[in-house]
Structure 1
Amino acid sequence: MNLTYEILPDDQAVQCKELCNELMGYQKSRAVIKPELFDSMNFETRMLPSMGSALHNHLVAVKDEDEMIGYVYSNVSPKITYSNDFATFFDLDSVSGDYVGCLSQFYIKDGYRQYGVGSKLFEMSMEWLRQFNEVEDLFIYVSNGNENALEFYKRKGFVVTHDILDGFITVLRNRKR
């Protein structure tokens, strides 16, 4: 393996399109609650709108030679972004400031997991999120059935606070250190 990590500018997010769509398929394959909700989720309906509504975006891609094998997308957004027609992701009054940080999407191709790639991408995301003084609360949303991701984030210091959409998504939270 010859892994390289690259921060992509917003206008190059399309480089992660295939992996984003693969992530949606992976989440559907693991889901036990409402897997059909993933049918309409893809790069155009998930990543692009999220990037468009965020104040700040951070997209890190990891490649093995020229093959894209993983990415992490994080953002800083107004907390009101997380109360919409789809769901209210957390109690808005529980966030002291106007902005939250979110590790929004995280995917590593099978065959590259368990080599520290996830920990490296996670740390790059957290380091970026910690630089925003106006952000105190960090959130991660894990789709049902993805127990490996849930346990990974818990080991990294995030705490499960609640489920939304009848258990479709588990909300994890951490106060910025």
Structure 2
Amino acid sequence: MEFKYEIITDEEIEYCRDLCNELMAFQKSKAHITPELFDHMNFDTRMVPSVKSALHNYTVIVKDGEKIVAYVYSNISPKEAYSNNFAAFFELSSVRKKNVGCLSQFFIKEEYRQYGIGSKLFDMSMDWLKQFEDVEDYFIFVSNGNDNALKFYKHKGFLVSHTILNGFITVLRQ
């Protein structure tokens, strides 16, 4: 296997459609707290609005040959973007600066896990996020039941801050 990492533009996010939808199905399959919340979550309702509303976006796809096998999507957004009709993801007053960084979506096809793709995508995203001087708070939101993701992010230095929506999402912060 020879992996190729490609940074894509906002106009090319359609490349992530299938994997984003796979991510939502995967999260639903793992969830033990209100899995039905995932019924209306997909590429069009999650990724597209996030890309459109963020100040800056960073999306990397990973190819094995021509097959896209993984992606990560991170963004810089005003902190107010994380207090909406769905939930208040963190206490706005806990963030001193006006913008936050978020590693928003991360998915690797199951048969491609354990090859170091996750660590490389994580590092690429964190390097990108940390270049913004107006950001000092970084968040990752992990759906309930996704214990492997939680363990991975904690190993990478993120700490559990709190849960929201009665435990539906664990908020990690660095």
Distance 2:61 2:67 in 1: 10
Question: TM-score, length-normalised on structure 1?
Answer: 0.98
Q: How does 1:5-154 map to 2 (within 5 A)?
A: 5-154=5-154
- Counterpart of 2:69, as a letter, is I
In the alignment, what sits opposite 1:159?
Answer: 159
Instruction: Write the letter of the residue equivalent to 2:134.
Output: E
Tell me the distance in 1 between the aligned counterparts of 2:30 and 2:58: 26
Extract structure 1 runs of 4+ deviating beyond 3 A: none
CA distance in 1, matches of 2:93, 2:36: 31
Shift of 1:2: 1.1
Percentage identity across paired residues of the two chains: 65
Give the Cα separation in 1 of the matches to 2:3 and 2:115: 11
TM-score (normalizing by structure 2): 1.00
CA distance in 1, matches of 2:63, 2:34: 32
Separation of aligned partners in 1, 2:158 and 2:91: 17
SS in 1 for 2:111: coil
Partner Cα distance (2:84, 2:16) in 1 = 25
Query: Alpha-carbon deviation of 1:148?
Result: 0.1
CA distance, structure 1, for counterparts of residue 113 and residue 141 of structure 2: 20
Deviations 1:45-68 (A, max 9, x none): 000000111000000000100000
Which amino acid in structure 2 is aligned with residue 42 of structure 1? Answer: N
Give 1:72 shift: 0.2
Q: Distance in 2 between matches of 1:52 and 1:13?
A: 11
Unaligned residue ranges in structure 1 (runs of 5+): none
Query: Residues of 2 paired with 1:41 and 1:63: CA distance?
Result: 24
Instruction: State the number of aligned residues.
Output: 174
Query: Partner amino acid for 2:7?
Result: I
- Report the 3-state secondary structure (helix = DSSP H, G, I; strand = E; otherwise coil) of the residue aligned with 1:131: coil
